[in-house]
A and B are shown apart, each in its own frame.
Chain A
Amino acid sequence: MSEAKAVSAGRPETGLLSKFVRSDLSRPTTLISGILLLLIAASATFAPLIAPTDPYDLATVSVLDGRLAPGEEMLDGTIAWLGTDGAGRDVLSAIIFGLRTSLTVAISSALIALVVGLAVGLTAAFYGGRIDAFLMRIVDIQLSFPAILVALVLLALLGKGVDKVIIALAIVQWALYARTVRAAAMVERRKEYFEAAICLELSNARIIWKHLLPNSVSSLIVLATLQTAHSISIEATLSFLGVGVPITEPSLGSLIANGFDYILSGAYWITFFPGVMLLATVAAINVLGDQLRAMVNPRLSR
């Protein structure tokens, strides 16, 4: 225990959050992104409470409200601030619910990928040798293909559905986590005390948990942040292409796809606003992620 403490002292991850809050929230772009992200997360979490209407309650949605321009009033007196789509759904409400789906997919897939990547990366770093070479070769091969393509193929094989998209995105991402974890753990592995720990016949699990894992935490946080933004984008693209989440549970991407049919008739708002929300979400996460990365690894911050 004591040696673990001694080693972790002075690492960037100790107090990463507090450091982040103290030093970097003062920057305007970071502050705006942070607030934006909080708002987005809150509205996604409390979607049913916040959204003006329930866009998927067939009893209240009326085709007669179809394609209302932003600001027009629907039959039941609610104002559709961002207009309505072809089926008469309030776009604002659809966005809030869509955000929920998008975030659920991105975050769950990130978590699964994180766990798998962590396991593979630590295994590779701990055992080294052939096991390491084999695992990293798989990682290399997978990473040599663009994520969107791999996801597309997986969904072509798995079929549609929220669960399928989560699985596909997790498969797309695990390799990156594995590589990051391994790289960080390898640094630790080369240090002398690691040999000592092995000589002391500490259990493998204990060595991995106490020594290899802590060193990779900060880079994992950064990676997970940036990857979440990335997977929101990929999911949206997949749903837009019609191979992602089903129409019954639309994400931002499916909303945009839905609006695609109306752009030629001038009803731009059906695609425009979900896209703006998508962009805002991804950009906010990217800005915060870049900031985090700059803190964890100042060398890259220029």
Chain B
Amino acid sequence: MNEGLARRMSAAGQPAKGTPMLAFVLRRVMQSVVVLFVMSLVVFSMINLVGDPVDMLVNPESLPEEIDRVRRDFGLDQPVHVQYWKFLLGAISGDLGKSFIFGRPALALMAERFPATLELATSALVISVTVGLPLGVYAGLRPDGWGTRIIMGGSVLGISIPTFWLGLMMIIVFSVVLGWLPVSGRGETSRFLGIESSAFTLDGLRHLVLPATNLALFKIAMVIRLARAGTVEVMALDFIRFARAKGLAPRRIVLAHLMPNILIPIVTVLGIEFGTLIAFATVTESIFAWPGLGKLVIDAIVNLDRPIVVAYLLFVVTLFLVLNLVVDIIYALLDPRVRLQGDET
């Protein structure tokens, strides 16, 4: 049905039989910290093998003394393990180093860019549910219909189609040929209920539509498949037949009986997938010049801006570890079968 869910059900990381919840959570948190530490070590040591960032920092015609001074300023003259130690000490106190390019703390830069990415990912999530859910339920209710064939064909296409290319095609169609929407960038933002977002202004929305749709595309296909599978499964159950025997209208059966039952797994999967949206935003942001985290890190990779790359990585790793942990805990709480099921080995 869906790999994320199946993966989760079979994952060896489920709490084993009889393990108290608190112990499970503590063990997982410890594991996460170890993973984070190992990641930082690997990333830090490997990144020092690629290129010399000083080349990017100074004018090629600079004097050797000038180059040495820059090297010292950024602490790049010291051995790698000393650099790592300093980084680690800094990281614990919330300092992930300064960007070579911007000369500002990496964390501050990321904090600046994060809202834009969050806005993009959230909009994509909303789009994927509002579009994917009805289509998937429809396909599940009418398994042999023409509409279903088109929807399912479309979802195969949606999974196959390279997102970034589709983004370009969207720009060509909607911005270049039709001229309806702006090509790139983030529009005007405004504050509403304490949230600063571009979704509250017309200009902002016009800028948001294409990238959010582009990012949502893959997830729409996923939601369609999940919703369809869930619908087929639930509609065959006795309580749906009993609801029909009560003489309820199909609308009521779908909204009150089908929906709540298929939403639980879909919401869970989407929760896990939110991390993937943030990750995939790197691609979408590059296409649409969306000033978010993803664009920041791609530029940093190209420009060998190590602190940004490392900080982004640690951020994403943390995000994923937290998301996974939360989902595992929720799962263990919701489903007694998962709680009782130890690792099969």
Contact = CB atoms under 8 A, between A and B. Distances in A.
Contacts of A183: 10
Interface string A111-151: 00000000000000000110011001100110111101100
A243 interface: yes
Contacts of A143: 7
Contacts of B59: none
Contacts of A260: 168, 287
Nearest to B45: A157
Interface in B16-48: 31, 35, 43, 46-47
B168 A153 contact: no
A159 B304 CA distance: 10
Interface stretch (B92-100, B169-177, B194-202, B208-216): B169-177
Nearest to A229: B160
Given A156-B47, A241-B298, A140 B13 contact: yes
A141 B165 contact: no
Interface string B149-163: 000000011011111
B176 A279 contact: no
Interface residues of A, number: 51
B168 A271 contact: yes
A129 B12 CA distance: 12
A186 B286 CA distance: 43
B302 interface: yes
B50 interface: yes
A159 B51 contact: yes
Contacts of A242: 298, 302
B160 A283 contact: yes
B301 interface: yes
A260 B288 CA distance: 11
B43 A133 contact: no
A87 interface: no
B1 to A, nearest CB: 8
Contact of B50 (A158, A236, A271): A158
Given A132-B345, A143-B7, A241-B286, A275 B165 contact: yes
A159 B302 CA distance: 9
Interface in B287-307: 287, 298, 301-302
B232 interface: yes
B165 A128 contact: no
A148 B172 contact: no
A279 B286 CA distance: 20
A152 B301 contact: yes
A272 interface: yes
Nearest to A155: B301
Interface centre among B10, B160, B171, B183 (most CB of A within 10 A): B160
Contacts of A17: none
A153 B183 contact: no
A272 B344 CA distance: 49
A283 B13 contact: no
Given A137-B13, A145-B320, A242-B302, A186 B160 contact: no
B316 interface: yes
A279 B161 contact: yes
Given A148-B280, A152-B301, A153-B43, A256 B169 contact: no
Interface stretch (A3-11, A74-82, A202-210, A262-270): A262-270
21 contacts: A140-B12, A143-B7, A148-B282, A148-B283, A153-B313, A155-B301, A157-B47, A233-B162, A237-B283, A240-B164, A240-B286, A241-B164, A253-B162, A260-B287, A263-B168, A264-B176, A264-B183, A275-B165, A278-B162, A282-B161, A287-B156
10 tightest Cβ-Cβ pairs between the two chains A and B = A275-B165, A283-B160, A149-B279, A157-B46, A156-B301, A146-B276, A282-B160, A146-B279, A136-B12, A240-B164
